Amino acid sequence: MSSTPLFTPFTGESTGDPLLFETYKPKIKAYRDALAAGILDEYKLPEEFVPRLSGADVRQIPKKVLTSAEYEITESSGTALAKKLATGELKAVEVFKAFAKRATIAHQLTNCAMQLFTAEGLQRAQDLDEYFTRTGKTVGPLHGLPVSLKEHYNYKGKVTHAGYAVWTDRVTDNWALSVKLLLDAGAVFYIRTTEPQSLMHLCSKNNITGCAKNPANTSLTTGGSSSGEGALAGMKGSVFGLGSDIGGSIRCPAGFCGAWGFRPTQKRLSMRNVASACTGMQEGVCCVLGPLAHCADDVDLFMSSIIGGEPWKNDATVIPLPWRKVSEPSIKDLTIAVCYDDGVVKPTTPIVRGLRVAADKLKNAGATVVEWNPIEVKKLVATCGSMYNADSGADQLSVLKASGEPLAELTKVALSFGCGTKGVSAADYEKLALTRDIYRDKYQDVMNEKGINFILSPVYVSVAAKPETVHYWGYTSLWNILDLPNMVFPTGLECDPALDIPDKKYTPRSDVEAYEYALYDDAENFKGAPIGLQLTGRRWFDEELVKASKVVQEVIEK
Amino acid sequence: MSSTPLFTPFTGESTGDPLLFETYKPKIKAYRDALAAGILDEYKLPEEFVPRLSGADVRQIPKKVLTSAEYEITESSGTALAKKLATGELKAVEVFKAFAKRATIAHQLTNCAMQLFTAEGLQRAQDLDEYFTRTGKTVGPLHGLPVSLKEHYNYKGKVTHAGYAVWTDRVTDNWALSVKLLLDAGAVFYIRTTEPQSLMHLCSKNNITGCAKNPANTSLTTGGSSSGEGALAGMKGSVFGLGSDIGGSIRCPAGFCGAWGFRPTQKRLSMRNVASACTGMQEGVCCVLGPLAHCADDVDLFMSSIIGGEPWKNDATVIPLPWRKVSEPSIKDLTIAVCYDDGVVKPTTPIVRGLRVAADKLKNAGATVVEWNPIEVKKLVATCGSMYNADSGADQLSVLKASGEPLAELTKVALSFGCGTKGVSAADYEKLALTRDIYRDKYQDVMNEKGINFILSPVYVSVAAKPETVHYWGYTSLWNILDLPNMVFPTGLECDPALDIPDKKYTPRSDVEAYEYALYDDAENFKGAPIGLQLTGRRWFDEELVKASKVVQEVIEK
């Protein structure tokens, strides 16, 4: 089998079938009308707060609109709120109303929601308060916490379209198991968030409710595919949210919007009843669910609560690995390898600055900091891409054709990953899986030999990009195929045109690099975009990664 | 995708390339000469003990040839021996010599070995005794226990051919990780056992050292593909042995030869450096390693010792699930569903008798015994077969062609499983995997709804078959694709021509059934063949299965 390319250009039809698509427009309109109706009058953003120009930072607007009590609640961690809800110091209804308001404001500024159902959330919060009053107990560890959900998990009784126009009126009558476990733990639902067509963009373009905007700079992408989750997290419109990630879809939006995002090792959370175009089980590189949040402690709370629901009991794919309690490491005990360049696409100047600042601070705090030498990244990213498209993209194309919707630019890009629409035979698929396994062992062997605990690397080549431009996923998808857990966190730094001047002298090593590196054309275009970084740990040892990321981020942001 | 058939007849060349194969005969001869030289003079079986007729039960011969001390040692459990070795009551050398003798006798009667290296084992045992004398400690939980190994795990410095003539002189210079962990735990190695060409027969035919014989009735097959392990276990020539299983290869030989055989859930033991024809990673249905042994306690000792070596540290595929200590259940707390017929091939009369006796005894002992209704067995077995041959059998054919060796009958049968040499596209492979996952959940849902703890079922359609006749693997391979752990154990019953008269009136439901059911033609041909049964538990909950099988087998054999 000859070497897999990173991209095999998509040459299929992309305009769709306009006549057929016309017949779906009433359904799409009805869906959008329902979304608009989800903006309650009492949460309507006064006109004076709506930015007139693009490129705005809208993250400070909630403070101007919320009461100080609402603001204080929505600035609190989930861990702190859970404690106060458990003692009765806070009521679920007051917590909910604060977040519902902040989320609705966020939606009006960033278009982060695909569904808003505040009245249902309020009823749920009232039920929780009534339960607490009656029994003196909480229903579970997430009692009363407002939790956001990316749209594509089956939600009993609601439409789940997974970003495809053909399903804009498809009601799913069961729960995604992970959503049910959050519900059973006491979570309050009120918003389902924006994702792109095909679920395979690091961006948000779709033919249903349209793109979401990055709250740090509204001319930029939120990233994707948990696009709305990223925007909402940047706006603190929920305690945390449930995202999904097969190539970067939790981590990219988290990094682009200044939030935390955690990609667990596969098969720890249930994927049962998560909607997609897939008519088969592609398990070469597995999709996982995971949280976008505001701090490491809340990631811990999220994971321990959902895994505490023992998902393996109702999903034979999930491995019964309980969420272990581990202690925070001392920074002096950590050996962190820093990746400045994956050998395929060099990171841009703001990212390099972020890495250098991080490395210096970690060293000064007593960590052992070494340089990470990339290992066969191009081969692994290409292998990953071929696994995505192993079926020749047939499933994707089928669902897109069913409504005749036009293909977004990045959908075409996704269909060009690896083997593209050529697909592969099962024999070649098995060879791809063997390559993956060889390098899973290689990476572990190298980390063992060099005593490396964690790898610090970029989330993406650059800060948040312009909409519909990101092609190269390698800084995230490498870890998907290797299945090492990752935490993305904010450094507190953001793109500064004075410091982060594009390196126009750099000579790209390939066409792929030439395209991607040049997207960071003028620092002014990216002003204010958060600089996030990614910490990667050992396969299955997610708990240690979460605790280490807390310590690492504290050192970096100080 | 149309319904997958159980078999797609193999129409390729099977005579091999006789001229090319001729060039491999010297290597094969050298290999066989080395094996013959492994029979030490002091262990040579006196002529009067070699049966003159086929169809003999040779399991009582060791007692006539061993000293009473040697006999007592080799009749002891590993658990008992480990304790005595740990206190010094027994020395590793005396334990080793007893097993080396018994194994060498077993080999002379059943041809169960492919390599015999007794001198190396003796040196190892001496080293262990010296270590114990010097330190007062054991090297690990298996200190001094003689452990047999199926041939196809890489053994540092020795040839590993995996049953293929082309590799008869291929020295592997690394250890299979699982073998290394057994070694580190204190095991003594001295024998590597017979497997069939292709590793894909429930039998033992190969072009290197030839077939193994069932010690309970030497006209019958040992089963396979851990054929030599089965024969050796039936002869108690090792404490326990390491087998492998992708469709029945631990359990079939264990059941046919009257031993215990355990197939763990996948990815708990390491498959790193296990040899095969595979040039890719076929992970739709995974091969696993597991023990053949003489009692449940020894299976527990084996698993806790090997997993205690934390295989995940050196194999990124292994999940860090420690081997938990669980208590033996009370029989009264168990709900066991008995499978009398998988809906594809009805079991023969001795197996039905075994199931009925078992069900009655379990009921009388206080267990809740219900009937198991088979769920889509044909579909799942066919899906499993297509996963085996997803690559069109290309890997197998390539290695066989490399020496020009003739294809054994059952190699052709294996190449006809499912899609056969047509292979499948990656898209279809993904659909097969989804089918598998749907039924993994379905089986769990049904067991949950009905409160079923374990399923009791046949190991195979019948007792040990005649050599080279077994085509249908469904009673074992069903559990491979569903990946539920299984324990095969002896009932104490054996085929009795007076009781187990073939049912000649039965009307088969298919050609597959017609062929397989008719193999049990005349009970006299199968006289003395052990009746084994199989207990199946919940995915990942292997520990509970091992403990339950101890209790269940005790009730059945009493």
Handedness of CA B380, B386, B390, B395 (dihedral sign): positive
pTM of the model: 0.97
Predicted pLDDT at B83: 98
Inter-chain contact B390–A315, Cβ cutoff 8 Å?
no
Crossing angle of helices B474-482 and B377-388, in 10° steps, is 80
Tell me the pLDDT tens digit for each residue of B248-301. Answer: 999 999 999 999 999 999 999 999 999 999 999 999 999 999 999 999 999 999
Nearest to B148 by CA among B125, B114, B108, B197: B114
What value, to the nearest 5°, has the Cα angle with vertex B534 and ends B529 and B536? 175
Give the length of chain A.
Answer: 558
Give yes or no for residue B541 having a pLDDT over 70.
yes
Closest to B175 (Cα-Cα) out of B149, B147, B156: B156
pLDDT value at position A4? 87
Q: Find chain A residues with C-beta within 8 A of B272's C-beta.
A: 441
Domain edges within chain A: 38-323
Is A2 a residue whose pLDDT tops 80?
Answer: no
Residue of A375, A430, A444 for testing the chain B interface, max B β-carbons within 10 Å: A430
Interface contact B316-A541, CB threshold 8 A: no
Distances (CA, A) of B107 to B50, B152, B222, B513: 12, 18, 13, 34
Query: Mutate which of B1, B315, B430 to test chain A, going by most A C-beta atoms within 10 A?
Result: B430
Whether the per-residue pLDDT at B189 is higher than 80: the answer is yes
ipTM: 0.95
Tokens 């091999």 correspond to what residue?
Answer: B16
Three-class secondary structure of residue B202 per DSSP: coil
- The string of pLDDT tens digits covering residues B67-109 is 999 999 999 999 999 999 999 999 999 999 999 999 999 999 9
- d(Cα A109, Cα A103) in Å, to the nearest integer? 10
Residues in B closer than 8 angstroms to A423, CB to CB, are 425-427
A437 with B281: Cβ contact below 8 A: yes
**pLDDT for B17 beyond 60:** yes
Q: Is the peptide bond before B225 cis (omega within 30 degrees of 0)?
A: yes
pLDDT tens across B356-372, in order?
999 999 999 999 999 99
Cβ contacts of B29 within 8 Å, gap of 6 or more: none
**Tens of pLDDT, residues A156-202:** 999 999 999 999 999 999 999 999 999 999 999 999 999 999 999 99
Distance of alpha carbon B262 from alpha carbon A529, whole angstroms: 56
Q: How far is B173 from chain A (nearest CA, A)?
A: 18
> Would you say A460 and A202 are in contact if contact means Cβ atoms under 8 Å apart?
yes
Per-residue b/e over B122-154, b at no fewer than 16 CB within 10 Å?
bebbeebbebbeeeeebbbbbbbbbbbbbbbbb
Which residues of B contribute to the annotated binding site for substrate? 199, 225, 246-249
Query: Cα distance from A432 to chain B (closest Cα, Å)?
Result: 7
Cα separation of the two ends of chain A: 50
CB contact under 8 A, B427 and A427: no
Q: Do residue B316 and residue A444 have CB atoms under 8 angstroms apart? A: yes
C-alpha–C-alpha distance, residues B54 and B205, integer Å = 17
- Using CB atoms and an 8 Å cut-off, which of residues 227-286 of chain B contact chain A? 272, 278-283
Cβ atoms of residues A420 and A6 within 8 Å: no
Residues 354-393 of A with CB under 8 A from B: 390-392
- Residues B28-49 have a mean pLDDT of 97
For domain A38-323, the CATH class is alpha beta
Give the three-class secondary structure for A153: strand
The amino acid occupying position A540 is: W
Mean per-residue pLDDT for B23-38? 98
**Residues of chain A contacting residue B315, judged by C-beta atoms under 8 Å apart:** 441
Burial class of A225 by CB neighbour count within 10 A (0 to 12, 13 to 18, 19+): buried
CA distance B283 to A529: 42
pLDDT in tens, B144-163: 999 999 999 999 999 999 99
Share of chain B above pLDDT 90, in %: 99
pLDDT at site B51: 94
**Helix A377-388 crosses helix A474-482 at what angle (to 10 degrees)?**
80
Say what the pLDDT of residue B2 is: 63
Q: Which residues of B touch A437 (CB under 8 A)?
A: 281, 316-317
For residue A99, give how far its alpha carbon lies from the nearest alpha carbon of chain B (Å): 36
Q: How far apart are CA A388 and CA A401, in angstroms?
A: 19
Report the pLDDT value the prediction gives residue B519, as an integer from 0 to 100.
98
**A150 is an active site residue:** yes
Give contacts of A314 with chain B, Cβ < 8 Å.
444-445, 448
User: Phi/psi of residue B22, each to 5°?
Assistant: -55, -35
Taking alpha carbons only, the member of B8, B27, B80, B319 closest to residue A265 is: B319
Strands B486-494 and B454-458: unpaired
**What residues of B are in contact with residue A540 (Cβ under 8 Å)?**
312, 319-320
Block residue for tokens 């070694």: B183
**Cα–Cα distance for residue pair B70/B96, rounded to 1 Å:** 10
**pLDDT tier for residue B1 given thresholds of 50, 70 and 90:** low
- How far is Cα B496 from Cα A114, in angstroms, rounded to an integer? 70
* Catalytic residue status for B431: no
Phi, psi for B300 (deg, rounded to 5): -60, -45
Choosing from B150, B346, B361, B550, the catalytic residue is: B150
Confidence of residue B3 (pLDDT cuts 50, 70, 90): confident
CA torsion sign for B394, B400, B404, B407 is negative
Per-residue pLDDT for A120 more than 80? yes
Among chain A residues, the shortest Cα distance to B419 is held by: A426
Position A355: which residue type?
Answer: L
Q: Which two three-digit tokens encode residue B403?
A: 């020496």
**pLDDT-derived band of residue A3, with 50, 70 and 90 as boundaries?**
confident
Tell me the pLDDT tens digit for each residue of A444-456. 999 999 999 999 9
CA B262 centroid distance within chain: 8
B449 touches chain A (CB under 8 A): no
Best A281, A380, A397, A544 member to test B by mutation, with max B CBs in 10 Å, is A281
Whether residue B423 and residue A425 make contact (CB cut-off 8 A), yes or no, is yes
Q: Which residues from A are below 8 Å from B320, CB to CB?
A: 321, 540-541
pLDDT value at position A1?
A: 54
Q: How far is CA B369 from CA A70, A199, B338, B339, B475, in A?
A: 59, 48, 7, 11, 20
How many Cβ pairs within 8 Å bridge chains A and B? 134
One-character DSSP codes across A75-119:
HS-HHHHHHHHHHTSS-HHHHHHHHHHHHHHHHHHH--EEEE-HH
Cα B19 to its chain centre, rounded Å, is: 34
pLDDT, one tens digit per residue, over A223-271 is: 999 999 999 999 999 999 999 999 999 999 999 999 999 999 999 999 9
pLDDT at B352 over 60: yes
Q: Token match 């595979």: residue?
A: B278
Beta strands in B339-482 (DSSP E): 368-371, 454-458
Nearest CA in chain A to B311: A441
- At residue B289, φ and ψ (nearest 5 deg) are -100, 155
Q: Kindly report each contact of residues B24-33 with a partner whose C-beta sits within 8 Å and lies 24 or more positions away, as own/partner.
A: B24/B165, B24/B166, B24/B168, B24/B403, B24/B404, B24/B405, B27/B165, B27/B168, B27/B169, B28/B165, B28/B168, B28/B207, B28/B208, B30/B168, B30/B169, B31/B159, B31/B161, B31/B168, B31/B169, B31/B208, B31/B209, B32/B208, B32/B209
Cis ω before A225 (30° cut-off from 0): yes
Distance between CA atoms of residues B354 and B116, nearest Å: 36
Chain-chain contact of B427 with A280 (C-beta, under 8 angstroms): yes
- Assess whether B150 carries a catalytic annotation: yes
Token pair recorded at residue A233: 């997290």
